[in-house]
Structure 1
């Protein structure tokens, strides 16, 4: 599988980063590049099938997307590697650790999806945090409802940062993405499997995340005996763009844990 990618020239361990649904390697690099900086890693940022500059040459199912990533890893890196992901990318990274643990040295999962079906997610039931008047005025009308539920940092500056990330990178394949998200196989077939992964794992969740929540992520920690879980109060689903310093501090601690294995 030929996935579009960017790779840094580091000499340290490989870390492969998987983006949010419909987002690109450019958006992922904007957030995770600064968080991973200083460790001389070989950082690789992938566009998933149908995302960014990667064509939609697989079936519109999450298993096919995961298989495409695994095939790319088999061909392009020396396993095992560090895997980092956000949202859907983190969902896939956890799936790879279940299905192909030989490929994975450690996991950094940020606002990970645990179950795909929205009615199966445990979401916060408290009202959102206060926001200044007009904080969403610069957002396209089609995105305002989503951002209202997704963001914990409810400011025009954060809105502009997230919109810039959403607009960065290649165009993707909207038809493929719609089929993937609405199809019966959006969920991985082993989504609920209890499979233990014993490498170092860091899970970051946003307390104000009304897209995937934060409670299911804590319950999933039973599968990660070397896992660290943190929920960040003043953050939502776009935590990497809302709280970059928090992401960096936890990413650096995660990397330190890899080196002392």
Structure 2
């Protein structure tokens, strides 16, 4: 583990609040998977795939994907049952990882730079562990890797719901009692440390996202079953056997950036440093005053750390293969060298 470096901010695109990237419904293995595309804005960009967290969607990556578009040709996927994707048969880490693998294979874009937030981080660890041929680099933002003290998570109060018969119906009823604006505010308050960092446009998009969830009869079941699957994966990780996420993390080969917020209310704040210690080739970025979704709250800082990782990998490739094509060129190389020297 080593501290993450930061690419110079002035070489990122100018600040903007882009609308959600255009999406499309793709029929994959008999069900619809919804994918948003953030096309590259410069030649030589490499493929990237973004995976959201529990209750999130592909829209969670709009700002970060836009900042990285000069270097990465991005796609963000809605996991089964979330966003605009149709429900799945199972809601486990394994099932979600299988869908991510199938999408990479179907799109024929691998290997990709793989990004995962929260649940998506756990899914991405499994993908990178079992299919290293599909992953160039791995970026984990507040990854939901196993921890057992649920007092350190606001979602600990949901544990009782898992034990209640027909808990999914109770969750669905609860959703109907809250206006979309109220639910959106509660979600943002749980995920974001400083709400002043979130634009009015992003707030309105969050409300629209909630409206879509209310119209999807499967959403409450998908949420509760996914939470159940996540808790189950936590417990299995502390038992013997091959399905431990921590054991998978220890075997990762991809260069990895781990980002954590010190005001994370959903994942134990000790998880990100532990992940960086366990993953062999890792860099750690801990952010003061930031919550669970750093890619939404401070996207420029996350983008700078990602670009420093890409520059490091480019250097390694150049050293090994002097004729390899450049990912970062021209004045950006000089800026990177100056930044690293500093």
How high is the TM-score relative to the length of structure 1? Answer: 0.79
Is residue 26 from structure 1 mapped to residue 59 from structure 2 by the alignment? yes
The CA distance in 2 between the partners of 1:165 and 1:84, in whole Å, is: 22
1:94-131 Cα distance to aligned partner (Å, 9 max, x none)? 1211222222111011121112x6635866xxxxxxxx
The 8 Å contact of residues 204 and 229 in structure 1, kept in 2 or not, is answered as yes
Is residue 166 from structure 1 mapped to residue 211 from structure 2 by the alignment? no
Query: Unmatched 5+ residue regions in structure 2?
Result: 1-27, 154-179, 234-242, 317-342
**RMSD of aligned C-alpha atoms?**
3.0
The corresponding residue for 1:233 is: 288
The corresponding residue for 2:35 is: 5
Give, in angstroms, the shift of residue 203 of structure 1: 0.9
SS at match of 2:292: coil
Match of 2:122 among 81, 91, 95: 91
The corresponding residue for 2:105 is: 74
CA separation of 1:168 and 1:17: change in aligned 2, threshold 3 A: farther
30-39 or 167-176, which moves further after superposition? 167-176
The CA distance in 2 between the partners of 1:191 and 1:54, in whole Å, is: 25
CA separation of 1:179 and 1:213: change in aligned 2, threshold 3 A: closer
Give, in angstroms, the shift of residue 47 of structure 1: 0.9
Listed as ranges, the matches of 1:80-229 within 5 Å are 80-115=111-146, 119=149, 140-142=181-183, 147-155=188-196, 158=198, 160=200, 163-167=203-207, 171=213, 173-184=218-229, 186-188=231-233, 189-194=243-248, 195-229=250-284
6-15 or 90-99, which moves further after superposition? 6-15
Q: Which structure has greater helix proportion?
A: 2
The 8 Å contact of residues 152 and 265 in structure 2, kept in 1 or not, is answered as no
The CA distance in 1 between the partners of 2:138 and 2:205, in whole Å, is: 23
Give, in angstroms, the shift of residue 84 of structure 1: 0.8
CA separation of 1:211 and 1:161: change in aligned 2, threshold 3 A: farther
Query: Unmatched 5+ residue regions in structure 1?
Result: 124-138
The CA distance in 2 between the partners of 1:119 and 1:160, in whole Å, is: 35
CA separation of 1:193 and 1:248: change in aligned 2, threshold 3 A: same
SS at match of 2:87: coil
